[in-house]
Amino acid sequence: MALLPGAAAMRAVRSPMAMGSALRGGLATMSTQTAVRAPDASTYDWTHDFDLLTTEHVSERALTASLYRHKSTGAEVLSIDADDENKVFSCNFRTLPKDDTGVPHILEHSVLCGSRKYPLKEPFVELLKGSLKTFLNAMTAPDKTMYPVASMNTQDFRNLVDVYLDACFHPLIRDPVRGPQILKQEGWHYEVTDPQKAQPLSYKGVVFNEMKGVYSSADSRHYRAIQRHLFRGHPIYSIDSGGDPRAIPALTYEAFEAFHKTYYHPANARLFLYGRPDELPISERLFMLQVR
């Protein structure tokens, strides 16, 4: 899905999968592990890898919020303690498009099409089918991309976090063979409709088709026109991060891969964890992010 600025206009990607872990020596260097659960998460001394920046009690919501920074990459982690059965994780990046090709939106779909540790065709779909999740999706806004998951089951939650982290930091889109195929599938490709016709080729693709639907909606066109005029000439908010179907076919694999390389880095990430401290102690929360 692609979100519209300010409004609840995000579109969701599809469905997810389940598993669990992520940042050691830098999220960017996570290695392939088998088990989702770290054996020594409960004894993990996070102070070697993270700095605690601040803690605040939010009395009106009965929450305690703590902000951590990963020492070697600068990734920021907001951890919330709450008396809630739900456990929530979200991996978020600042993503700033330069044109209407929809590269943030296409990337949002594409990173969920298999990763180094989970080289399935569509891990997201497998998660949707098999996870006990209470939420699983991804959203593209004009200036950021978010990958949130939630579950009331602790092991399921670990799995979801593991799949999502691997998807964000080690997606198969960076593979020189699979990457261009995923772009064609999720972004755009040519399709022969009728060889006898004067124009036998048409454009197809998951996001291309999705955005054709969006651009066929009067409400959506109205919203986009307002946005474009309110932010005329603005380098970010005058752009459609979801993708204009007229511009999507201009997206190359090189630009697609470069966008991931530029923005999907721990230093550009803001991570969010939420749950009960007895079910999900801070040592385990930070361990999940650390192990890769």
Q: Catalytic pick from 76, 108, 210, 284?
A: 108
CB of 186 to Zn ion, least distance (A): 9
Tell me whether strands 63-70 and 50-58 are parallel, antiparallel or unpaired.
antiparallel
Q: Which residue is nearest to Zn ion (CB)?
A: 1
Nearby residues of 101 by Cβ (< 8 Å), 6 or more positions away: 243, 244, 247, 248, 250, 251, 255
Q: Catalytic pick from 186, 210, 257, 284?
A: 186
Nearby residues of 64 by Cβ (< 8 Å), 6 or more positions away: 55, 56, 57, 58, 80, 81, 82
Our finding on whether 248 is near Zn ion (CB under 5 A) is: no
CB of 181 to Zn ion, least distance (A): 18
CB of 85 to Zn ion, least distance (A): 29
Our finding on whether 1 is near Zn ion (CB under 5 A) is: yes
Our finding on whether 17 is near Zn ion (CB under 5 A) is: no
Distance of CA 268 to the CA centre of its chain: 13
Q: Between 188 and 217, how does the x/- string for binding to Zn ion read (CB under 5 A)?
A: ----------------------x-------
Q: Dihedral angle at the C-alpha atoms of 169, 175, 176, 177, nearest 10 degrees?
A: -150
Can 108 be counted among the known catalytic residues? yes
Between 63 and 215, CB nearer to Zn ion = 215
CB of 165 to Zn ion, least distance (A): 21
Between 26 and 242, CB nearer to Zn ion = 242
Angle between helical axes of 178-186 and 253-263 (0-180°, round to 10):
100
Q: How would you classify residue 214: left for phi > 0, otherwise alpha for psi between -120 and 50, otherwise beta?
A: alpha
Can 191 be counted among the known catalytic residues? no
Q: Secondary structure of the chain: what % helix, strand, coil (to 5)?
A: 35, 20, 40
Q: Tokens 């697609």, residue?
A: 256
Between 213 and 235, CB nearer to Zn ion = 213
Cite the active site residues.
Answer: 108, 186
State the residues that interact with Zn ion by CB under 5 A. Answer: 1, 11, 210
